[in-house]
Amino acid sequence: MTLTESPSLLIAGIGEMVLSSSPDSHLVAYGLGSCIAVAAWDPRAKVGGLAHFMLPSGPANESSPVKFIDTGLDTFLKAFQAKGAMISRSTFKAAGAAAMLMVGGGLAIGKRNAESMEAALKERGISLTATALGGNAGRTVQLEVGDGRFLIKSLSSMVEL
């Protein structure tokens, strides 16, 4: 099991999302610290999406459509559905939200991101089927569109959720 480098590699930078219906696509978010990546995969339509959220809340931003969880989650879900996916039969997984940065008297951004994402998904009737949230190490994640595997690599390990 390795993170893939290939022509079908689509990268979600901070505040970005990538979506694909190509079974050869590998959707990647590099270097998640306190940021949180949400992977969505529809096993019937074989559609995958990966969004790289930075903060719990903030104004909508066209250049970084998923920078903020509160204004970006619906943008991501609508784009996922526009590719032919159905939310009700899809799986959702999340990783990141590490304790990397401290602000406002010690309130961890990673923890706030995880709490915000879980609440926002719950409001929409969506539950995460697997998570790798918290801790204090950065991660890189990859969603395999063909089979829905969600790979997480840190300095010390690589696991599949």
Q: Where are the domains of the chain?
A: 9-156
3-state secondary structure of 151: strand
Annotated catalytic residue: which of 10, 18, 35, 55? Answer: 35
pLDDT at 2 > cutoff 50:
no
CB crowding 46-67: b at 16 or more within 10 Å, else e: bbbbbbbbbbbeeeeeeebbbb
Query: What does the pLDDT look like over 27-50, one tens digit per residue?
Result: 999 999 999 999 999 999 999 999
Q: What is the 8-class DSSP label of residue 136?
A: S
Length of the chain as a residue count: 161
Pairing of strands 36-42, 102-103: unpaired
Instruction: Express as a percent the part of the chain with pLDDT over 90.
Output: 78
* Whole-number Å distance between alpha carbons of 34 and 111: 8
Backbone dihedral angles phi then psi of residue 63, each to the nearest 5 degrees: -75, -25
Is 148:49 a contact under the CB 8 Å cutoff?
no
Question: How would you class 104 by CB atoms within 10 Å of its CB: exposed for 0-12, middle for 13-18, buried for 19 or more?
Answer: exposed
**CA torsion angle 42 46 52 53 (round to 10):** -20
> Which CATH number is correct for 9-156, 1.10.1060.10, 1.10.260.40, 3.30.1330.200, 3.30.450.20?
3.30.1330.200
Is residue 35 flagged as an active site residue? yes
Query: What does the pLDDT look like over 99-118, one tens digit per residue?
Result: 865 555 556 889 999 999 99
